[in-house]
Amino acid sequence: MISSAGFAPMEVGFALPQYDYSVPGDSRLRWESVLEWSDRAVAAGFTSLWVSDHLFLTLERYGGPAGQRYGCLDPITTMAALAARHPDVTIGCLVFCAQLRPPKILGKQLETLANLAPNRVVAGIGAGWNEAEFAEAGSAFRRPGERLREMVDAAAGVRHVLADTGRDVPIWFGGKGDRLVELAARHADGWNTVWQWPFDAYRRKLEVLRRTCERIGRDPGELTLSVGLNAVVGSDEADVRRRWQQRVDASPHRMFAAADFDEWRSGRLVGVVDDVRAQVDGWRTLGVRLLVVNLGALPFSVTDPDDLDIVASAVL
C-alpha cells in the first residue's frame, strides 16, 4: 500500500477508464464499466488505482479530430467510490489541475477522502495544459511559468488545510519539463510523469532532480518517483502486433492507424512477457517506486480483459 513513506521497493498501479472513449463498446462511459475494470485490476494484483482531472478531453494532441469533446467522470467522486469498494488499495489522481481546483476546496475534499481511506490517498497536482477547458471553467490560461507558480501555490494551500486536520496525503507534482522537476524537488513528496519515456531521457531528468536536491540540501530518496506507461504485451512478436492492432481499431476514428508501431513502442512497455519484465526491472533500477500501467493507446483507456491478464503476468 502507498503511504507518505513511499513504496517498497516498487509497486504497480492501474490507470482506470475514465472518458467516453475509454472502453470499447461504451459510446458514453458507464459507471459499471469503471467498477468492472477496477475489480479486474485489483483481482490481478495491482495495488493502486488511478484517475485524472479534466472537465473534458479533446484528442488533437493524439491525432484526433479538432474540437470533438469526450466527457469524463469527476475524479474526487470516483476516488471516493473506489476507496469504499476496494479497502486494501491506494486511490490516486494523476493529476489535479491546479487552476480548476481552488486549493482550500481541494484540501477539504482530500481531507474527506483521507477520512474514508486513511493512508491510501495520493494527490498529484499539475499546471494544466488543456486551454479549452480553462476557457470553459472561466479560468485564465497563463504562460507556463505562471501556471507552474499557481501549481506550487495550490500545493501549499492544500497542505495548509490538511495540516489543520492532522490528515496526511502525499502531494506529487506531475509533468515532464526541467522546471517542473526542480519544483517537485523543492515542494513535493513525489514526481509523476507519463506516458512515454525512453530510459536515457528519464535518466537525464533524474539528474535535474539530483542536482536540485543537492542545491537545497534534500535527500533525493525522500521523493517518490512514479512513471505511467502504455503497455502492449504478447506471447510472441506476432501476438504483440495483433494486440497493438486491437488498440488501433478501438481508438476513436482509428486515429493510430497510420502510426509506425516500431516507432510508437519506444519508451513504452511493449514486447513479449520476458522483455517487458526486463523493462520493469530497468525502471526499478532507476529508482521508480510506482509504475502505472495504461492498457489502451489513449490515456485512461482499456482494451480486452485478456490484455490485463498478460500485462499483469509481465509487470507484477
Q: Would 2 be classed as within a structural domain?
A: no
Block residue for cell numbers 494544466: 128
At 166, is the pLDDT very low, low, confident or very high (cuts 50, 70, 90)? Answer: confident
Assign 164 a pLDDT band (cuts: 50, 70, 90).
confident
For the chain, percent of residues with pLDDT exceeding 70: 97
Residue 4 has a pLDDT of 39
Average pLDDT over residues 122-134: 95
Burial classification of residue 166, based on how many CB atoms lie within 10 Å of its CB (0-12 exposed, 13-18 middle, 19 or more buried): exposed
The answer to the question of residue 66 being in a domain is yes
pLDDT reading at 3 higher than 70: no
Backbone angles phi, psi at 266, to 5 degrees: -65, 130
Q: What share of the chain is helix, strand, coil (3-state, %, to 5)?
A: 45, 20, 35
Alpha-carbon span 111 to 150, nearest angstrom = 21
pLDDT score for 206: 97
Q: Has residue 77 been placed in a domain?
A: yes
Tell me whether residue 1 is in a domain. Answer: no
Residue 5 has pLDDT above 70, yes or no: no
Specify the CATH number for the domain of residue 259.
3.20.20.30
Number of compact structural domains in the chain: 1
Is residue 149 situated within a structural domain? yes
258-275 tens-digit pLDDT: 889 999 999 999 999 999
Q: Residue 210: helix, strand or coil by DSSP?
A: helix
Q: Write down the residue that cell numbers 494532441 correspond to.
A: 61
Span 24-66, pLDDT tens digits: 999 999 999 999 999 999 999 999 999 999 999 999 888 888 8
Residue with cell 482550500: 104
Supply φ then ψ for residue 73, to 5 degrees. -85, 145
Its domain, for residue 54, covers: 11-315
Q: Looking at the domain assignment, is residue 3 inside a domain?
A: no
Listed in sequence order, the DSSP H helices in the chain are 31-44, 75-85, 103-116, 131-137, 144-165, 178-187, 199-216, 237-250, 261-264, 273-285, 305-315
298 near 218, Cβ under 8 Å? no
pTM as predicted? 0.95
At 1 the pLDDT is: 43
Q: Given this model, what pLDDT does residue 6 score?
A: 43
Cell reading at 52: 485524472
Q: Which of 184, 175, 172, 176 is nearest to 211 (CA)?
A: 184
pLDDT of residue 198 exceeding 90, the answer is: yes
Residue 7 pLDDT exceeds 80: no
Cell of 102: 481552488
178 domain-assigned: yes
Question: What residue type is assigned to position 199 of the chain?
Answer: F
- List, for residues 204-243, the tens digit of each pLDDT value: 999 999 999 999 999 999 999 999 999 999 999 999 999 9
User: For residue 2, what pLDDT band results from cuts at 50, 70 and 90?
Assistant: very low
Residue 241 belongs to a domain: yes
Angle between helices 305-315 and 273-285 (to 10 degrees): 50
- At 66-88, the pLDDT tens digits run 889 999 999 999 999 999 999 99
Q: How far apart are CA 194 and CA 216, in angstroms?
A: 26
